[in-house]
Amino acid sequence: MAHLAFRSATQNGRGSAKQRQRGQEEGGKKEPHGKTKLSAPDEAGDGAQDSKEATKAPLKDSCACGHSEDTAMVNGGGTHEDTEEAESKQDGSGETDGGEESNEQEVIVIQDTGFTVKIQAPGTEPFDLQVSPQEMVQEIHQVLMDREDTCHRTCFSLQLDGNVLDNFAELKSIEGLQEGSLLKVVEEPYTVREARIHVRHIRDLLKSLDPSDAYNGVDCNSLSFLSIFTDGDLGDSGKRKKKGSELEQIDCTPPEHILPGSKERPLVSLQPQNKDWKPMQCLKVLTMSGWNPPPGNRKMHGDLMYLYIVTVEERHVSVTASTRGFYLNQSTTYTFNPKPANPSFLSHSLVELLSQISPAFKKNFTALQKKRVQRHPFERIATPFQVYSWTAPQVDHAMDCVRAEDAYTSRLGYEEHIPGQTRDWNEELQTTRELPRKNLPERLLRERAIFKVHSDFAAAATRGAMAVIDGNVMAINPGEETRMQMFIWNNIFFSLGFDVRDHYRELGGDAAAHAAPTNDLNGVRAYGAVDVEGLYTLGTVVVDYRGYRVTAQSIIPGILEREQEQSVIYGSIDFGKTVVSHNKYLELLEKTSRPLKVQRHGVLNEKDETVELCSSVECKGIIGNDGRHYILDLLRTFPPDLNFLPVEGENLPPESQRQGFPRQHRHRLACLRQELIEAFVEHRYLLFMKMAALQLMQQKANKDTNKTSLPEPPALPITETSETATESSADTTHMQKTASDVPEDVSTDGAVQTDNNISAASPAVAASEENSSKPTNGPVEPAATQNGECKSPLEGKELEESIPGLAQAKELAESLVAEDGSGIDPKNREVVFNACKAVGSISNTSFDIRFNPDIFSPGVRFPDDSTEDVQKQKQLLKDAAAFLVSCQIPSLVKDCLDHSTLPMDGATLTEALHQRGINVRYLGTVLDFLDKTPAKAQLEHFYRIGISELITRCAKHIFKTYLQGVELSALSSAVSHFLNCFLSSFPDAVAHLPPDELVSRRKSRKRRNRVPGGGDNTTWASLTPSELWKNIASEAQSYYHFTIQCESVDQVVEKYGLQKITLLREISIKTGIQILIKEYNFDSRHKPAFTEEDILNIFPVVKHVNPKASDAFHFFQSGQAKVQQGFLKEGCELINEALNLFNNVYGAMHVEICACLRLLARLNYIMGDHPEALSNQQKAVLMSERVLGIEHPNTIQEYMHLALYCFANGQLSTALKLLYRARYLMLLVCGEDHPEMALLDSNIGLVLHGVMEYDLSLRFLENALAISTKYHGPRSLKVALSHHLVARVYESKAEFRSALQHEKEGYTIYKNQMGEAHEKTKESSEYLKYLTQQAVALQRTMNEIYKNGSNASIMPLKFAAPSMASVLEQLNIINGIIFIPLSQKDLENLKAEVQRRQQLHELGKSEEHTEDSLLELEDKIPID
């Protein structure tokens, strides 16, 4: 841990913890991180962003705000789920979460009802404001700074009956404040700080519609385009209400590039032009005057600072900010005359002053504020973490005083107006952890504070890391070579990801030093989630920027004044040669050992004495000067991955060897993921229960001397055969619910969680061994392959009966385990003992699996008496490695086959791997496995996404070292040259060296202070396309063990069916490149696609911890469970409650809030409240765009849901626009050949059918049919449905022959899959009869015409446009929504129906609802 090695007196005084808790009073006007009714990023005076302290966003619906889907934190910040929530509660709060009831009670207590107060501001009519008792006075300030009529005030106090209210007081604590009280807004005198805040706030208001902050990735702004497609707001205020659904006005033709089969993928449409963004100019210039700061004699007249302003009318004025307000003075550019001008227009607010001197300002400012207030709050609230856009238009660079000042005063957050007062990050991060957490209100406060400080810390660390790499921070060891330098900036310690001092020489040098920070971050994340009181980790952020990896950490108090040796009192600083231990640390770490599955073990120190540890040896314990117990260097929290760690004399199980493991990896730090450990332990638990049950049955059978006794169960050698049945039966709806998101620790209490998901699974496991004719390798049974949907018929209920006595045996086994081995009769004890032994449990009386993270660490020696134990641990590690290859990878592929996992791009693919505990280094293995799967054709989309992910990751590795050799002045030409070599068909891409005009004669003098990697280095310019692709192929071979036989981008595109635009998006997102949005000609053989002008920026890629809102998450889960049982109303209430709690912790914008909103919208829709569904889904879309990105796969899904609700609300043209947008985004992100495209095209086709655009409709529906047939197999029910939809359109066109042909296909599928008697088959046959009659009638009429010529008597034929209701019904079916009669008179029937459906589902029948069937509500909260 490098920062131990340096002593330095940079420790500065610490503000009292209390004061920080109250939220950095100096932090001034703090933004409550976005309650809807409140603020937006355009307030909070002095840089809303810097100030968002941990203020309180009260529990209230006004903030029912939305957020995105099964997240992949765009910036790689995905944290590991609170795997151990239940645990953490036990250790932490001393109360084991007393069931949902107690929570619900608590919530009701907090939600005191809101009340209304009157607000009287100078010069405006009094108005009413709804407030809640938990709010702080502060938040009323925010509302006033955001309201159209009071937004220009920042320096005021609120008074009740002449008493000034304390900003940080909660409303309920203020005497005399009640319903109807009058609060007066009183203007206060300015200070320098208040004047700066005021100017910054005015500038924010002037820029409020300008997207440049979002393009530049600053102040947590990000893009959103939804309002362009919905023409402003949806819902009642929408402009469309009046039209009803007259179809004539709708122009339905999509742009050419959206039609099925189109090959062009334009980029410009990604960011449609927003007319509101053409800024209305209010001022030409507003900047600090050169006369600042005021000289002494003027200070004593109350001058605070001077501003220089040029109005639109070209009037140049100089303004004094004084304690009394703003006025014109008589200075000019070259003469200083601070006397007030005549008239001086003294005004308390700058806006009032400017409105008097510039009519254009007055008019435009008013119009601008009107527009600003009309925007949806979610378009302007700051996001918790910065989202970067990989494309941007050319934005004019305007003069901006605040930005200029920020850049040069190196503002460190918010407090720099008080010099010397940077934030003590470590103190803030640790103090928030220490807040009480006994009941819900306390936990909410604590979690909000933790989340707030984390997001502020991540922002500060990112700025610091960029400053370090850009060379703007002085090193604390400036004498050393650049790669060895370390930095301290803003109380954060920065080190570069290089192997300094050969620390990692044994482990793989620089490759290990590059991997260590992310491993360490995963460790911090895991310990943070367990949340043990008294154990502290460092704030940690890993930033990749310009080819360098920077680790940012908060600083342990006192660490810089001591030598490393004397400060480490637990663990080892030399990888185990010397080791020390400490009782307090053992006691604290013991509490984490069960949830993190870490085994307590002894190792030998240099004197050959045994030292007890409860973590890996690298994990160091240091007691800071603040008396806190810190642990750091958590890079080996999780056990090593033996598949990538060849060890002399150790052999892996055959499952691994068959796949070519172990393989040599770049470094020796390859660890298993926490999700894998969880899944493995759960798998072993099922096995354990099964073995106990079988042995008990055995005993029972012997007792009853039954002839039917089962054969002696073999002493099961545990090979991790593909028991994917475990998962498949746990009901596909719970797919996401494997491993990482089962909050309880599987082993906590033996059988605690039987009803959670084990009960569903364990019988299946037992069966899988007995009735198993399964191939041991890979889950693809011949039966299941036809279309990946016939699940093994033995699942769920029948299974219980299929093995006599299994159910009782299971109960017995569970009771055994629960009693923890005491007081059981010896026979049964023996059963448990055998089962424990077989599954490798560390205890003989109960199931308990833990890993020793030091096994196979070079340099660590174990005492002799633990040899047996070490052997056991080695075996366990081998089993876990084998489990990954033989169980998890096949289960992933199976989930893709039955479409319960549908990755669309690199990020969602990575997330799918991670959810199952598969590291990305297995990507090559996964692709090889796919290649050998019989059902390969149905996995083409998955294979393609995998290949493009693999290629772009290889390119990223190469790009990293490539960039390190580039000096700053050549950055844009180097990046464009790299992209040309990577993507352009132009064979001899030549680099443009930076022009000569800058190269002066003085260049030859060596510059003293070099930036990392500085130097006149132009080797990058010699890269050629063929060389780059050779490197990519060899990187793929050496890192992923995957063979790409292609020498150029065109061959790759040809061979794997990739799209260049998709590759461009993936590489840009992974490396942080931002490019100019325009059409690139990749395929020209005459000129390169990119020039240096096309590279606009390079952003950092940031990984950080993502603190969770645990209570909200529990509510969300129980809400989902209720919905799945069919209790929609209760489910809805719980989800609403979860939404409140999420808002309370995260503020208005967060990925998890998005999942919450989406689910709510779906429930509203099912329960028939279409307008409410529309409003919630609109929030979900906006939030997804803002927090995940405008073309993230989840955003695409949100667009599709919104289109459905628009259609149901009669907004047809909006629905179409939204579907077209979704289709465009999907084409860009993954191309046309993807199972999800079938659903999208069916939606589009149906809406077009509804508006009588039959030919267009057919193009989309026939494409959907083709894709469904390919990915679901020709006999799938989805395909039958597709045939039916096509037939309906042909019927509308009166082409009965084609209609009949399609409906017959559908009928055949129904008959074969469901049998004659099924309602679907009957419906289809009815429709066939009807079509036949129509065809016959038409034929008759034709014959009549032929026979009698023009005077034939023609029977009028019935051609009807389909009714909206029938179209909507079909839309609901394909989107997997089943309606429930709202009378709700018998929920019982519904529940029976649900159970029937689930059984059907198990038999692989109820397939048409699987898309995202209501009762499945696949919206899991993101697990990352």
Contact criterion met (CB below 8 Å) for 491 and 3: no
Closest C-alpha among 1106, 1421, 1157, 1114 to residue 61: 1157
Beta partners for residue 611, in sequence order? 603
Neighbouring residues of 909: CB distance < 8 A, sequence distance ≥ 6 = 903, 942, 945, 946, 949
Largest CA distance in the chain: 115
Sheet order of strands, 486-489 included: 486-489, 492-496, 548-554, 540-545, 1101-1104
Please tell me whether residue 176 adopts helix, strand or coil conformation: coil
Q: Which helix (H) or strand (E) holds 433?
A: helix 425-434
Contact between 250 and 1215 (Cβ < 8 Å)? no
Instruction: Spell out the residues 6+ positions from residue 125 whose beta carbon is closer than 8 angstroms to its own.
Output: none
**Which 3-state string (H, E, C) describes 442-463?**
HHHHHHHHHHHHHHHHHHHHHH
Nearest to 1193 by CA among 1217, 1225, 1221, 1218: 1225
Q: In what order do the strands lie in the sheet with 156-160?
A: 127-131, 115-120, 182-187, 156-160, 163-164
362's torsion region: left (phi>0), alpha (psi -120 to 50) or beta? alpha
Pairing state of beta strands 568-570 and 601-604? unpaired
**Who's near 759: CB < 8 A, 6+ residues apart?**
none
**The residue type at 384:** P
Short-list 916, 915, 903, CA closest to 943: 903
Closest-CA residue to 720 (of 835, 878, 846): 878
Q: What amino acid occupies position 19?
A: Q
- Tell me the H-state helices in 1018-1107: 1025-1040, 1049-1056, 1060-1071
- Neighbouring residues of 358: CB distance < 8 A, sequence distance ≥ 6: 283, 311, 312, 313, 315
For residue 1044, give the nearest of 916, 921, 972, 947 by alpha carbon: 947
Phi/psi for 1023 (5° steps) reads -65, 135
Burial classification of residue 843, based on how many CB atoms lie within 10 Å of its CB (0-12 exposed, 13-18 middle, 19 or more buried)? middle
Count CA atoms closer than 13 A to 1043's CA, side-chain side: 2
Write out the two tokens for 93.
Answer: 């709060």
Burial label for 621, CB within 10 Å (0-12, 13-18, 19+), is: buried
Q: What is the CA radius of gyration of the chain?
A: 33
How high is the pLDDT of residue 727? 37
pLDDT at 1356: 54
CA distance 217 to 1074: 10
Q: Which helix (H) or strand (E) holds 826?
A: helix 826-839
N-term to C-term CA, the chain: 27
884: which DSSP letter?
A: I
Helix (H, G, I), strand (E, B) or coil at 592: helix
Q: Tell me how crowded residue 15 is: count the other CB atoms within 10 A of its CB.
A: 17
d(CA 883, CA 680): 7
Q: Is 1189 left (phi over 0), alpha (psi -120 to 50) or beta?
A: left
What is the rounded CA–CA span in Å between residue 747 and residue 978? Answer: 51
Measured distance CA(64)–CA(1143) in Å, rounded = 7
Q: Strand pairing of 182-187 and 115-120?
A: parallel
Instruction: Tell me the residue type at 710.
Output: L
Q: Please list the rounded mean pLDDT of every run of 10 residues in the chain (1424 residues).
A: 39 34 36 36 35 36 37 36 37 38 45 80 89 86 88 91 89 87 93 91 86 87 90 52 46 88 93 75 87 93 93 93 95 92 91 93 91 88 94 79 58 39 88 94 94 94 93 89 89 91 86 95 95 95 96 92 78 87 94 93 91 93 93 94 92 91 93 96 92 86 61 45 38 36 36 34 34 34 33 36 52 58 67 85 85 90 90 93 95 92 95 96 95 91 96 96 89 94 88 57 42 58 93 96 93 95 97 96 92 94 95 94 90 94 93 95 92 94 96 96 94 93 96 95 94 92 96 92 95 91 94 90 93 88 79 57 85 80 48 63 45 39 38
Phi (first) and psi of residue 64, to 5 degrees: -65, 85
Q: How far apart are CA 441 and CA 168, in angstroms?
A: 17
CA distance 849 to 841: 5
The CA distance from 77 to 1101, in Å, is: 9
1405 to 779, 1082, 1268, 1312, 1417: CA distances (angstroms) = 20, 46, 17, 11, 18
**β-strand partners of 986:** none
From CA 583, how far away is CA 601, in angstroms rounded?
A: 14
Residue 829 CB-density burial (10 A; 0-12 exposed, 13-18 middle, 19+ buried)? middle
Tell me how far CA of residue 679 lies from CA of 734, 750, 756, 1113, in angstroms. 14, 16, 15, 21
Q: How many CB atoms lie within 10 A of CB 64?
A: 20
Check whether the bond before 293 is cis (ω within 30° of 0).
yes
Strands 316-322 and 325-328 turn out to be antiparallel
Structure tokens of 259?
A: 């039609």
φ, ψ for residue 1381, nearest 5 deg? -60, 130
> 306: helix, coil or strand?
strand
Query: Can you tell me whether residue 428 is helix, strand or coil?
Result: helix
Identity of the residue numbered 665: H
The dihedrals phi and psi of 605, each to the nearest 5 degrees, come to -95, -170
Candidates 1265, 1264, 1315, 1253; CA nearest to 1289 is 1253
